[in-house]
Each structure stands twice: as C-alpha cells, then as structure tokens.
Chains A and B, each alone.
Chain A
Amino acid sequence: MAQDKGGQFHPDLATSWVISPDGLTYTFELRHDVKFQDGTPFNADAVVRNLKRVADPATHSQKEVFLLGPFYHAETTDPYTVKLVLKQPYAPLLDGLSQVYLGMASPAALDKWGDQYQLHQVGTGPFRMLSYQQGQSLVLERNPDYNLAPEIRSHQGPPYLDQIEFRFYADPATRLPALLSGQADVMGELPAQDAAQVGANPAYRLNLVAIPGQSVQFFLNTRLAPGDDLRVRQALLYGTDRASLVKAVFGTTSPVAAGPLAAITRGADPALAQLYPYDPQKAAALLAEAGWTQKDKDGILVRQDQRLTLKGILQSWGELTKVGTILQAQWRQLGVDVQWETMSYPAALDAARKGVDELIPSVFSGTDPDLLRTYFASSQLNGFNWAKVSDPEVDAWLEQAARTADWTQRAPLYARVQQRIMEQAWILPIRDQVNLNAAYSRVQGLSYDVQGWWPVLYDVSLVSKR
C-alpha cells in the first residue's frame, strides 16, 4: 500500500486489507492484473515468497525484518489473497509494509540470481533497474507497462522520464559543485551553507523536506553522576539557548526541536514546545538546589572538590562539531564544563551501550512513533536505551501503544511517553532534521515521500534540455 503524508494508507499492489479483531492476522486482497518487470505474474504466492525470504535469517535482512516486527508466518488463501500472521499485535505493520524496503521482488529473478539479486533487482514499479556500479551510479529506465500508480500520485500510466541516473556523492562538499556544473539535476542532503547559496540562485529551486522520526538530540545518561540528578539534567535544558544554537549552525533551514520526535512525526506532542524556554537563572537555581553553588577559578561549579564536568560524544554527521562547540560555550556560562570526544559511529555505539558518557547524540528516521520503544524501553538497556532509563509506566505505555491498532487510542499513549521523557529530561532535543534538496529549474513535479528521504520520481518531468 501507499502512505500519504497524513499517515493514511491507500491501495497499491494490495487493493484492500482487513485486520482481525485480535490484531494478529492481516488479510490482503491483491490486484489481479500485475506482472513483474520480467513478465512473472504478481500474485499471493509471490508475496508469501517475499515475506518468507525477508524473515529467513539466512537472507541477513536487517531493515526489512525490523519493519515486519513480530512476524510469524504468511500463507495464501487463494491466488490473490495473502494472510499475514503476527506473534503479537503490531500497529506499525502497515507503515512498514508501505515502505520501499519491503517492495516486492520477482520470484523468478530471486531464483535466477540468488545472493546476487541485489545487483539485478526486478520489481513491479514504474522504473526498472538497468545497471548498477557500486559507489558510482545506479541507472533506472522507464517501465512502459506500468499502470498501477496509487491514487496519491499526480498522474496515471507510465512515468514521464525515460531514464534516471543516480550518482552517489558521499562527501557533502562535492554535492553543490556537481549540481552547479550540471552533473546532477536534483541533489539531496546539501550542507546548510551550500543550500543558502543555491536558494539565492534563480536557476535552482531549494526544497526543504522535513524528516519525520527522532529529532536530532542528545541522550542524557541518567545513571552517571552528575547527570543522574534530575535537577542537573533540567538545568542543562533550561541553560541551553537552542534557538540561537540552531540558527548559528543551520540558519533558517532547520526548526528547533521540542521533544524526542520531530514535529512533523505522527503523534508528536505539540505541547512540548512550551517546556524548557531558555532561562539561565532557573538553570542556575536548579544547579544550586542540587548542591552546585561554588565556582572554581575557571568559573566551573564545584561540589565537595568535584567539578561539574560532563563527558559527551560527537560524531562527524549533522554538523555536530559546531553544535558541540556552541553548547560548550553556553554551558560554560552556567559553570558546567563539557568535554567532547569525537568518535566514529561504531565506537560511539559501543560507548553509548556501555554508558560511559553523559551526552550521546542520536537521530533516527521513521514515520511511526513506535520508534520511541527502541530508545526508551527498559528491554533496550543493552541496546539503544542510551539515557539508561527503566520506567515501568513508560514500558507499559509503549507496549500497549504498539499493540493497539486504533490511532485515537495510540496517540494519547505516545503523548504521555513524550511528556515523561521531557519532564525527566532524558534528552536534550536540538533540532528537527530537514533534508536540504535542490533541483535545477527544468525539473517539474518533484515531491518527496512521507519518509522525507525518497524523491517521488514517477511524477517528475523535464521542461527543457539543460
């Protein structure tokens, strides 16, 4: 199915679906008139084959198997009906099934290519894979037989573009030159300064796409002194001028984050924006209440010969070095010393799991607020629960919300979780993630999907040669 930006699902390969009252069985009716790009018929057998392949540990699926949640098994009840059975109710299932990761692969191509399939993918979509050179390019060509556009697209029938070449620009500094020199018509993930430069150029259109999911944030480790004291954590939030920080590093491209979820995420609680206005007096008062009253000759607060020093992790993504520098300067005025250590991603994961640092940066994209479970459930203490929190109420709300299909019942549960996170100052939210895209003016009809990362190229056309 296809998901629109309001979180509603629309028919795609599945024309309809029914969820059993216990939330365990999903029955999908499929279109009868679909063929894979290699001519293999699309039917219930193909779907079951795909689901089984993802769930098979030998496939080494990571993202897909995660999206299927507590998947138990799948079976066909007739040639165009699939029954998907879960071990326990799992509300985010449709969200997972609507994502590109769980696109359907031709069983014939799976048989033919085996573990080389990733280089020879065959699906049902508007474009088919022509060639792929790792680290360099992926070329797709128009599928002239495509006639399954979901109703949320702007047109029907085959796509407008004959061919699309994706090129990979791993280093952010190389992206703007590639766009300006005509090597690319559309570029994603520009650095903020480069985006400002493109925005001022009438030949290009800047396209800011808000990314739903976790906001860019620092987890505050609740089990390490001095951050184990709620007042200290709250003081850090009151003592951070987040608006100035975000403006200094990202200009006007990225909004200040209010809580654990980016504001655009379904279920993000708008009330959180009222919490923790910049208030250095209140921060100082909270620190004093926690016993941090004296300052040493460097202006750092001390309590019984102990300096108020925090250890934090920085990484190379998201301009974190600049963010860290500004935080350091702002907190120094409070009398808080922060010592940053820049780490590679694997080293940071390791340190965060072991809980040896007080401040751990994080961001994670996703449309369903169930992602909060990954970061705040006590079952994740050995995983991604980097604030090291164990709150039975939060566990219960998250679990219940994941098992409840009805959104009107889920939303209040997530609101409660978010309020608890902020009341307890388990995180320091920094900003909502925004993908800074730019396109040459001849590109028409470009939009981005609900996840924010993927351009919907099906509706794109070109108005002129470059």
Chain B
Amino acid sequence: MLSYLRRRLIVAALTLLGIATMVFLLVRLLPGDPAETMLARSGASPQAVAALRSELGLDRPLPLQYAGWLSELLQGNLGRSLYYNRPVTQLIGEQFAYTLRLALAALAWAWLAGPALGIAAAYWAGRWPDRLATLLAVLGATVPVFWSGLLLIWLFSVRLGWLPATGAGSWQALLMPSLVLGFATAGPLARIARVTLLEVLAQPYVVAARAKGLTRRQVLLRHALRNALVPLVTVSGLQLSFLLGGTVITETVFNRPGIGRLLVDAILNRDLPVVQGVALLTAGFYVILNLLVDLAAGWLSPQAGWQ
C-alpha cells in the first residue's frame, strides 16, 4: 500500500512538472504581446511598451524565463498578475472559494438525482421510467448551460422574482447555477448507474441470489448497487475536477466570480502569470483527485487492488 502510494505520488509530481512546462510554452505561443496589451488601453507610446516588456522580463531568452519561473514555483510563488498587479496566489485564493462552493453544490445535486435516475432506469429497464430517465440524462448532457441558465433566470428572476438573477453573495444566488451545472453533471452519473446495474444484474451470482428467494429490489439495492458505486465514484472524481476548472460559462451567465472567469480574462489580457497559475492549479486538482479516486475505488472494491 505505501509503496503504491509513493509510486503514485512520484508519478503525480512528474505529471505536474510536465504540465507546468507545457503551460509555460503554450501561453508563449499565444499571438499578442502582454506588454502591448496592458498598455494599449491607455494609448501608451511604443517606447513605454518596450520599457514594460523589458521590466517584465519578456525580452529575456525563453530558457532563462522558464528557469526563473520554475525556481519561483518550487518556492510556492506563482508570481504577480500583470493586469491586477497582485499576487497570483491571492487572486486564485479569492476566486477559488466561489468555484469550490459552486462545484460542490452542483455535485450534490448530481448525486441526489443521477444515481436515483439510473437505479429507476435499471429497475424498470425498457419501460417508460427507463425512457424518461434516459431522456433526462441525454438532456442533461446536451442542453447548453447558457441556454438553460438564461431560461431559469428569465423564469425565476425576471418573471417570478424569487431568486437573484446573478451574483454570488447568498445561498439563493447559488441555487440556479448549481442546479444547471448539477443537471448537466447528473446525466452521465445516471447513465453509468444504469449500465453498471444492468451488467451486474446479468451476473450469475445475482441469478443465484434471486434463486435464494431475494426479490429483484433487494438484489438491486443490497448487492448490485455496491458494485455500481465504483464507477460512480470514479466518474464523480473526474467531474469534480472538471467542475473546479471549467465552469466558465455558468459563471458568465450567472455573473459569478470564479476560477473559470479568472482564467478566461487572464488569457484575453495576456496575463501570463495568472494563466500559468490557474492552469497549474486545475491540473493539480485533476492529478490529486484522480489519485484519491483510485484509492477510494480500491477501498470500495477489492478487485481494483492496491498492487
């Protein structure tokens, strides 16, 4: 177990280093100059742009920039935002609280609805509850958030006046965005629960359990569900890392602050330190959550094994 963990941690660290290098190179391939972008809005002279470029170290050779950035990174320093002139860690810290709240709320909705739909679909496989559940799951996976989000805003904020259209200050403001995201996240969970349960229900041991006299419902809830938990947890882990990094559309529609908008704004402003910091953070979560999911799957199911 410990050697497995150690090996996984080394792989995770190497993955992060690889990601850090790629992020560093990719943001420098973007067309457009950060210094020029920063100064353009004030109408500064070419001389001022050149001075800023040199001050930001953008005129240094790439390997030097990379080495400098990496050594700062190892000391836990993500640099200062070019655009806001504030430490990147501070910016990310502020925005991450909003993103985490939204992601966890969305995942909670998804867990309330997704597995239940999947169980219903498997229990009544081929009948109308199955078709309804499948329809909902497909809708969840395909209806774009900017459309369902605006629809909810129109209904609950503009027409009925029950919920704030936008913002992030209160739990009421969290309801609609988390529902929209949760609905999108529930779809895949329902599909996976259904498929796994049907697969398990066809296993010989289930037939044996049925022969013992257990009802279909008892078999489903006591035996099959435990097996279905493993893929559900795996998928949820991936979904959570996705939710932590990629909810920019929801954030935009509901005008919530968050990591997604921080990243997109940083890309548009060529705010390289922020782009690098957010990309690294998102990748880091992905790696860590993957690790946790693997450990959880091992705990839930002896077959997955810790070798």
Contacts and interface: CB of A to CB of B under 8 A. Distances in A.
Interface string B24-68: 000000111110111111111110110110010000000000000
Q: How large is the interface on B (under 10, 10 to 19, 20 to 34, 35 or more residues)?
A: 35 or more
A135 interface: yes
Given A60-B85, A133-B94, A344 B166 contact: no
B43 A371 contact: yes
B55 A346 contact: no
B154 A118 contact: no
Interface string B82-118: 0011100001001100000000000000000000000
Interface stretch (A140-148, A348-356, A424-432): A348-356
A371 B253 CA distance: 35
Contact of B158 (A133, A181, A380): A181
B307 to A, nearest CB: 46
Given A57-B55, A178-B166, A383-B46, A350 B257 contact: no
A62 interface: yes
Contact of B84 (A134, A344, A345): A134
Contacts of B45: 379-380, 383
Interface residues of A, number: 46
A188 to B, nearest CB: 14
B166 A349 contact: no
Contacts of B268: 344-346
A353 B44 CA distance: 13
A135 B169 contact: no
B166 A174 contact: yes
Nearest to A347: B31
A168 interface: yes
A456 interface: no
A21 interface: no
Given A118-B85, A134-B84, A374-B43, A169 B49 contact: no
Nearest to B261: A135
A178 B165 CA distance: 6
A450 B43 CA distance: 19
A345 B33 CA distance: 10
B255 interface: yes
Given A135-B262, A177-B165, A66 B84 contact: no
A349 B168 contact: no
Nearest to B82: A60
A347 B32 contact: yes
A90 B8 CA distance: 65
B194 interface: no
Interface in A61-113: 62-63, 65-66
A136 B166 CA distance: 10
B289 interface: no
A463 interface: no
Interface string A163-174: 000011111011
Contacts of A183: 157, 164-167
A182 interface: yes
Interface centre among B94, B165, B257 (most CB of A within 10 A): B165
Nearest to A101: B42
A285 interface: no
A350 B33 CA distance: 7
A172 B261 CA distance: 15
B46 A174 contact: no
A71 to B, nearest CB: 13
Contact of B150 (A63, A173, A349): A173
Contacts of A134: 84, 91, 94-95, 257
- List the 8 closest pairs (A to B, CB-CB), nearest first: A346-B32, A135-B257, A181-B157, A347-B31, A63-B42, A346-B37, A383-B46, A181-B165
16 contacts: A135-B257, A136-B257, A170-B252, A174-B253, A177-B165, A180-B158, A183-B157, A344-B31, A346-B30, A346-B31, A347-B30, A347-B32, A371-B43, A380-B45, A380-B46, A383-B44
